[in-house]
Amino acid sequence: MTDEGLRSTLERGRLADAIRAFLDRKAAYGGTLHSDGTRLYSYGLTCIAEWRDETIVLMESDKYYSRTTNRHRHMLEAMATAKGIEVTKE
> Above 90 in pLDDT, residue 18?
yes
- Domain ranges in the chain are 3-89
Q: Which residue type is seen at 76?
A: L
CA 50 from centroid of its chain's CA atoms: 10
User: What is the rounded distance in angstroms from the CA atom of residue 65 to the CA atom of residue 25?
Assistant: 24
H or E element in which residue 27 lies: strand 27-30
| DSSP structural state of residue 38 | S
Q: Is the pLDDT of residue 24 over 80?
A: yes
Q: What is the DSSP string of 46-76?
A: EEEEEEETTEEEES-TTS---HHHHHHHHHH
Q: Is the pLDDT of residue 8 over 90?
A: no
User: Span 11-15, mean pLDDT?
Assistant: 74
Return the pLDDT at 1: 55
pTM reported for the whole predicted model: 0.84
For 27-86, the pLDDT digits (tens) are 999 889 999 999 999 988 889 999 999 999 999 866 777 888 888 999 999 999 999 999
Three-state DSSP state, 13: helix
